[in-house]
Amino acid sequence: MAKIENKDIIEALKEKTILEVKELVDMMKEEFGVDPSAVAVAAAPVATEETASDSGVKTVVLKEAGAQKLQVIKVIREATGLGLKEAKDIADAGGNVKEGVPASEAEELKAKLEEAGATVELA
């Protein structure tokens, strides 16, 4: 069997939806008995701090959900893969919706949230 390069795996992951990636993570948990997201979460802040200033990495910050909070919660869930309670908590209290994302993705998410009636800023 040919060895698959890490860059090929990353390219394949870019083409998947959040739900498909979640299913993959669940399969990895079952197959290997470890939670790969725990490693990714632990490593992400280091990469974000190093590259945020020079590579266009942004954080999408929800300031206020606005009058159509249900629509905002739907957008948050779609963009992050969070559960209903977690997305509702962000919509209620405000805060970071998504951290360490490329500027173009952050702009798209900001536009979707604003279309749903939220007040959003990029940090």
Domain ranges of the chain: 56-122
Among 8-17, 20-29, 43-52, the range scoring the smallest mean pLDDT is 43-52
**Per-residue pLDDT tens for 85-107?**
888 888 888 888 888 888 888 89
- For residue 98, the surrounding DSSP H or E stretch is strand 95-102
The more confidently predicted of residues 37 and 26 is 26
Q: Yes or no: is domain 56-122 CATH 3.30.1390.10?
A: yes
d(CA 76, CA 74): 5
- Within the chain, what is the greatest distance between any pair of CA atoms? 55
Q: Distance between alpha carbon 67 and the CA centroid of its chain, in Å?
A: 24
Question: Whole-prediction pTM value?
Answer: 0.55
- For residue 96, the surrounding DSSP H or E stretch is strand 95-102
Q: Is 81 in contact with 22 (CB distance < 8 Å)?
A: yes
